[in-house]
């Protein structure tokens, strides 16, 4: 069983919007006002928000939420929230996701999510063995390749309509941050109509834990193990 000790972790939430968030393009001031009101308790002010111009797909708002170590990007067709560090409970991430959807609901209630996705990225130190030894149970380099060849693993997870899962992926690769370490990158995608934004963090963590358990991988973070 590979034992991975997390050295750095990030979480990115993304929602594909349907229909497009037209209010953001037509009256961005309304969205800005709602955003500042919703995130006021996190000390977000006008100086933390930028209006992004350019092609239609790049037009919108970007907001730094320092207290959550997060960056919020709102576009007409999507929302993206990147968390540069995550607490163990995920309460801060859930709060930010819930807040952005309150902003959308009060300015354009007709806009919903076509899909939600969570990208968990963890750069990990190996607590036992080498990178090559850790990945060999999942994928061995072809015998005709040079000795010392290493590999990476990508699993493409199929959709499951009964649970609201869309095409997802599970990746084990070399870490660019931790020498000799492993990058665990798991993208979990959920149907918008079957998923409540404020429950996504819990649902994503549960599915991630189930996947790690099924692969017999232990992830250790802050003295606690997952998998």
2 and 26, same structural domain?
Answer: no
The tens digit of pLDDT for each residue in 136-164 reads 999 989 999 999 899 999 999 999 999 99
Number of domains, the chain: 2
Confidence check: pLDDT of 120 > 90: yes
Identify the pLDDT of residue 88.
Answer: 60
Take residue 20 and report the two structure tokens written for it: 């497009």
Q: What is the mean pLDDT of the chain?
A: 92
| Of the candidate ranges 126-130, 131-135, 194-198, the one whose mean pLDDT is the lowest | 194-198
Domain, as residue range, for 76: 20-110
The alpha-helical segments, DSSP class H, found in 108-226 are 131-135, 200-214
> In terms of domains, do 179 and 226 share one?
yes
Q: Please answer whether residues 80 and 96 qualify as being in contact, where contact means their C-beta atoms are separated by less than 8 angstroms.
A: no
What distance in Å separates the CA atoms of residue 50 and residue 62, rounded to the nearest whole number? 5
Identify the domain boundary among 110, 144, 172: 110
Domain boundary among 87, 110, 133: 110
Q: Name the pLDDT band for 221 (thresholds 50, 70, 90).
A: confident
Are residues 183 and 136 located together in one domain of the fold?
yes
Q: 153: burial class by Cβ within 10 Å (0-12, 13-18, 19+)?
A: middle
Q: How far is CA 35 from CA 39, 76, 129, 220, in A?
A: 6, 15, 48, 36
Residue 90: its pLDDT value, please?
Answer: 73
pLDDT digits (tens, 9 = 90+) for 7-60: 999 999 999 999 999 999 999 999 999 999 999 999 999 999 999 888 878 889
Cis amide bond preceding 47, omega within 30: no
In a shared domain, residues 52 and 87: yes
86 pLDDT above the threshold of 80: no
Residue 138, CA distances (Å) to 5, 17, 34, 153 in order:
19, 36, 48, 7
Residue 43, Ramachandran bin (φ over 0: left; ψ between -120 and 50: alpha; else beta): left
DSSP string, 63-97: EEEGGGTEEEEEESSEEEEEESS--SS-HHHHHHH
What residue has token string 């750069």? Answer: 123
Q: How confident is the model at residue 69 (pLDDT cuts 50, 70, 90)?
A: very high
Compute CA distances 44 → 33, 70, 108, 143, 169, whole Å: 11, 11, 22, 56, 34
Asked whether residue 119 carries a pLDDT value surpassing 80, the answer given is yes
């Amino acid at each position: 069983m590979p034992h991975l000790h997390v050295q750095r972790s990030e979480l990115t939430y993304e929602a594909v919007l349907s229909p497009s968030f037209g209010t953001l393009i037509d009256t961005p001031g309304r969205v800005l006002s709602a955003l500042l009101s919703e995130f006021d308790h996190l000390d977000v002010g006008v100086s933390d928000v930028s209006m992004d111009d350019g092609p239609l797909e790049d037009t919108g708002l970007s907001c730094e939420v320092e207290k959550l170590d997060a960056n919020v990007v709102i576009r007409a067709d999507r929302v993206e929230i990147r968390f540069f560090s995550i607490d163990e409970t995920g309460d801060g991430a859930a709060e930010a996701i819930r807040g952005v959807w309150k902003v959308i609901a009060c300015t354009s209630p007709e806009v919903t999510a076509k899909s939600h996705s969570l990208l968990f990225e963890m750069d990990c130190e190996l607590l036992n063995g080498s990178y090559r030894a850790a990945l060999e149970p999942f994928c061995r380099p072809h015998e005709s390749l040079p000795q010392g060849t290493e590999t990476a693993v990508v699993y493409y997870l199929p959709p499951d309509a009964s649970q609201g899962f869309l095409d997802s992926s599970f990746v084990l690769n070399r870490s660019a941050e931790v020498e000799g370490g492993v990058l665990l990158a798991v993208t979990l995608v959920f149907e918008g109509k079957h998923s409540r934004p404020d429950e996504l963090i819990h649902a994503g963590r549960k599915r991630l834990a189930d996947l790690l358990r099924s692969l017999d991988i232990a992830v250790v973070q802050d003295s606690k193990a997952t998998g």
